[in-house]
A and B are shown apart, each in its own frame.
Chain A
Amino acid sequence: MEFVFFLSAAVKAGTCLLYATLGEIISEKVGHLNLGVEGMMQIGAVIGFIAGFTFGNPYLAVLCAALAGAAGALIYGVLTVSLKANQVVTGLALTIFGIGFAAFFGKSFVGKKVPEAIVTFFQPIKLPVLGDIPYIGQIFFNQSVYVYFSYLLVIAVYIYLYKTKWGLNTRMIGENPVAADASGIPVDRYKYINIAICGALCGLGGAFLSLVYISIFPVNLVSGRGWIAVALVIFAMWNPGKAMLGAYFFGAMDIASFWLQKYNLPISIYFFTALPYLATVFVLVFTSIRKRANKKEPAWLGKNYFKEDR
């Protein structure tokens, strides 16, 4: 039974990663490697908290976080899509900016508590029928609405990318923007929209941390989770379903130390703290060894499209 509680906590810990990973998948599918995930999560976390703290309304808090994340992503969008700046450098700049932004605007909120109305709203709710399934019910269906929304989002992102015309166009731009442009797809518009969706989802991931996962607003809340999300995209091979699996795996790594300590294992506790990052390295090494055509990154990932070069 304790293991079930552990998995349930892993799902909760992995949810912020899941939001950010889904966002980054969409951005990469349109050919834009956005290393600003950490920054956009920071922005979403701090704006979500400030909105929640000020208005006490969970819907408004979540909406503000998504909009703030999208606004952060649009900085990246203007620089990389319209001004053709280097994607890696711009993404890194966005991360540094986001951390500074959060430190500056979050400073006066450090130590403040999430309002009671929001805490209550995001309390775990046991779903009827599904929640009664042994083990599975406790793990997946006794969670916050914020977690349930992420389940729906996995399905929505899958349908968007693989079952709609927009998704097809998006993927085509990521694979070959020249052909997409020639066939009359508005390449830049698609890029902007997908980059903004990525930012909104990263903002939601950050706000999950500041509104649901914690009770007291800390300094540097996201603390590296954005980078894990970037790695998770590769781990998941740009597949929303596998992103879910990966997010929960890394969520489990994140909290493993608290659950393993009592067994008195002859392993340093500092090792457990390093576990998520070690796992990230292994995953990246492993996935880069195994290359298969249908599981590769989009062909134009990280490359800007100059119409004039066509």
Chain B
Amino acid sequence: MKKRISVILLALAMVVVSVAGCSSGTTSDKSDVVKAGFLYVGPADDGGWSQAHDQGRAKMVENLGGKVETIVKENVPEEKSAVISSIRDMVDQGATIIFGTSFGFMDGMAEAAKEFPDVKFEHCSGYMTADNLGTYFGKIEEPRYLSGMVAGLATKSNKIAYVAAMPIPEVIRGINAFALGVKAVNPDATVNVSWTNTWYDPTVEKAAAEALIQQGCDVTAQHQDSTATMEAAKEAGKLSVGYDLSAATTMPEVYMTAPLWDFSGYYTDAVQSVIDGTWVSDQYWGGMNDGIVLLDDLTALAPGAAQAQVDTAEKAIKDGSLVIFSGELKDQTGTVRVNSGSTMTDEALLSMDWFVDNVVGTLN
């Protein structure tokens, strides 16, 4: 008997903990208010990717005044079932447009789009579309190229660390753009890549960054959602290029600049079009000209020569005279992938699976 009571108590304790762990959203019965749902892969204050989306969301709410309410789900696992159940919950709460902000949400969103044909879905960084499922993304490689120039000028050991999440085209494209930026100012420097297989795990990210620093890298860059890479650089007294959000105030010891996202404009337009009833599924891919991606202001830690060179290159990117992925580009084995004078097509960019020749790392 005693045993049974204790087992019941333990079970109760676990139920309490798991129920309390569920997140709650704001609800209201006003029918003229559009409800927008947001799925984040990490916490909304991760200091990176999800926070960039959340800032865009907050700005959008501000821009649209009382016309919109938002429901946020944090730490959504990149599993179909978890994505679908999160979406069902949001639809139950009245969401009519749902933004999924991680690549791994794609399958779940595609299925949910079939289940709820009246709800609009917007998936960031994916490629699956439907009448009620659109995609949106930005050419982060443009500011990444510029941040590569800063790193290339800053490195003394000519070895730059790059802690990267998953070997998918989006990340590979970013690494290659960064490496080409490095090459433009410092042909001797290499970009040393370490994969973590996770978008957000500060433990793993820091261990990966420490390993690269011990191998002689003196500048770090990252395609990760936390600031753990910069923490490792700080402990070792190195310099960093961030990602997603400005770390000028949170990491002043190491931070030089970062390629940044600004989703506020896109979210405002998308939700406004739902309010107006003009929303259609499309595949948005904006660049620096659209303001969805930008390079953060260089800090005092960035090399003095960097500002002028970055400004020139930024201008050239914006007016179209500088195309990042234009020939001649060789891969790691020395094979010419893009001939001199030609540029890569969007299809080739979206399925990129090779590294340019100044990258050290594996793609298996």
- Show the binding face of A for B, using Cβ within 8 Å: 2, 5-6, 9, 13, 75, 78-79, 83-85, 93, 96-97, 100-101, 103-104, 107, 110-111, 113, 119, 123, 209, 213-219, 221, 223, 254-255, 257-259, 261-270, 273
- Per the bound structure, the CA–CA distance linking A174 and B355 in Å amounts to 58
Q: Which of A218, A259, A268, A273 is within 8 Å of B211, CB to CB?
A: A259
Q: How far is the CB of B247 from chain A (nearest CB, A)?
A: 12
Given contacts A5-B214, A93-B10, A273-B197, contact A110 B43 (CB under 8 A): yes
- Show the binding face of B for A, using Cβ within 8 Å: 2-3, 6-7, 10, 13-14, 17-18, 20-21, 42-43, 45-47, 75, 167, 192-197, 200-203, 206-208, 210-212, 214-215, 226-228, 231-232, 235, 360-362, 364
- Per the bound structure, the CA–CA distance linking A9 and B212 in Å amounts to 12
Q: Is the CB of A258 within 8 A of B207?
A: yes
Of A213, A218, A223, A267, the most chain B CB neighbours within 10 A belong to A218
Q: Is the CB of B362 within 8 A of A79?
A: no
For residue B7, which residues in chain A have a CB less than 8 angstroms away from its CB? 79, 85, 93
Q: Which of A111, A213, A261 is within 8 Å of B203, CB to CB?
A: A213
For residue A215, which residues in chain B have a CB less than 8 angstroms away from its CB? 202, 206, 228, 231-232, 235
26 contacts between A and B (CB under 8 A): A9-B211, A79-B10, A83-B2, A85-B6, A96-B14, A100-B14, A100-B18, A209-B203, A214-B203, A214-B206, A215-B202, A215-B228, A215-B231, A215-B232, A216-B227, A217-B202, A218-B201, A219-B200, A255-B211, A257-B195, A258-B196, A261-B194, A262-B192, A264-B361, A265-B362, A269-B167
- Per the bound structure, the CA–CA distance linking A267 and B364 in Å amounts to 6
Q: Is the CB of A101 within 8 A of B364?
A: no
Q: How far is the CB of B14 from chain A (nearest CB, A)?
A: 5
Q: Is the CB of B10 within 8 A of A111?
A: no
Q: How far is the CB of B360 from chain A (nearest CB, A)?
A: 5
Given contacts A100-B17, A261-B194, A262-B361, contact A111 B211 (CB under 8 A): no
For residue A217, which residues in chain B have a CB less than 8 angstroms away from its CB? 202
For residue B167, which residues in chain A have a CB less than 8 angstroms away from its CB? 269
